[in-house]
Amino acid sequence: MYIAVTRTGGFAGITRKAELETTGRPDARQLTDLARAALTASRSPAPSGAPDAFHYEITIDGTTINLADSEVSEAGRALIQAVLSQDKS
């Protein structure tokens, strides 16, 4: 499963992007479960959100969802953290 996360917005205005392919990873099962849960919990389209709030774009095998920070589920938060931690910046 291919998973990509882009975080935009925020007070700093700095965009962060990271992606990963679960195949061959020791945590593949966990990431796949999180991704499925995140997709299930998400609604669309993304609301405009609050000033300075983060926005996320999450792509999971060709399906892309957009979320305001306040709308991210627990599973979504865990997934975002796991993917963005791939990016060392």
Partner 1 sequence: MTEMRATSAFCTIVPPHLLEQLARHEDPEVHHSARHSLALDAEHRDCRRLAIRSVVVPKPTLQPADSPQRTLYDARHHQGLPGIEVRAEGDRPSTDASVNRAYDGLGATFDFYLKAYGRHSVDGAGLPLHASVHYGEGYDNAFWNGSEMVFGDGDGKTFKDFTIPLEVIGHELTHGVTQYSANLTYDGQSGALNESVSDVFGSLIKQHALRQSAHDADWLIGEGLLETGVHGRALRSMKAPGTAYDDPRLGKDPQPAHMDHYVRTTDDNGGVHLNSGIPNHAFYLLATALGGYAWERAGRIWYDTLTGGKLPAGADFATFAQVTATAAQARYGDGEEKRAVLAAWAGVGVTPASHSSSVPHQSAAPEGAESAPQG
Contacts of 44 (CB under 8 A, 6+ apart): 65, 66
Q: Does 54 bind partner 1 (CB under 8 A)?
A: yes
Stretch that binds partner 1, among 5-13, 20-28, 34-42 (CB under 8 A): 5-13
Least separation in angstroms between CB 69 and partner 1:
8
CA-closest candidate to residue 86, choices 2, 14, 29 = 2
CA-closest candidate to residue 42, choices 74, 84, 3 = 74
Q: Does 86 bind partner 1 (CB under 8 A)?
A: no
Number of neighbouring beta carbons within 10 Å of residue 2:
13
**Cβ-based nearer residue to partner 1, 81 or 86:** 81
Quick note: the x/- pattern for partner 1 over 12-51, rule CB under 8 A, is xxxx--------------------------------xxxx
